[in-house]
Amino acid sequence: MAHRPQVTPKIAVNAVVFNDKKQVLLAKRTDNGLWCLPGGHVDLGETLEKACLRELFEETGLKGCVIRLIGIYSDPENSLHIAQGPEWHTVRVSFLCDVIGGTITSSPETSEIRYFDLDQLPALITDHARRIQDAIEPSGPVVI
């Protein structure tokens, strides 16, 4: 019998950032044209917080600091935002962050970075609207 590699969930992080006008920072992805919270996969040997701040900087050019955990989202139905195969499942961890430096700059993964009013959000990837809402109405970390 052939050996099958073990398939396990991936871990990803997202930064939820608001400006002083209570607008949320979003990035437009180059791979599918959808808007999303800045974020990406955690690298081996990296903490969740460091991964979140690295991804924030890589995708937006902004340096940040983590304020608090918003939630952990593990529902496999909402982790399929890119066609990567039926075995793809990502556990997503979102953090509320503040910007402490840098300049908004797009990246190879992001074609546009901008702040949006909460009542005028563009079409977002899967459960990103839920994560924004959870950041606005904190009742402790959400675990789904």
Q: CATH number, domain at 35? A: 3.90.79.10
List the structure tokens of 12: 């990803």
pTM over 0.75: yes
Q: Average pLDDT of the chain?
A: 89
Question: How many folded domains does the chain comprise?
Answer: 1
pLDDT surpasses 90 at 101: yes
Task: State mean pLDDT over 92-113.
Answer: 96
* Domain extent at residue 76: 10-143
Residue 61 lies in a domain: yes
Residue 1 lies in a domain: no
Q: Which of 46, 49, 112, 137 is catalytic?
A: 112
Question: What is the pLDDT at residue 76?
Answer: 72
List the structure tokens of 27: 């990035």
Task: State mean pLDDT over 69-92.
Answer: 73
- In the annotation, is 112 catalytic? yes
Place of tokens 């917080």: 49
Residue 26 lies in a domain: yes
* Percent of the chain predicted with pLDDT > 70: 86
Whether 25 and 103 have beta carbons less than 8 Å apart is answered as no
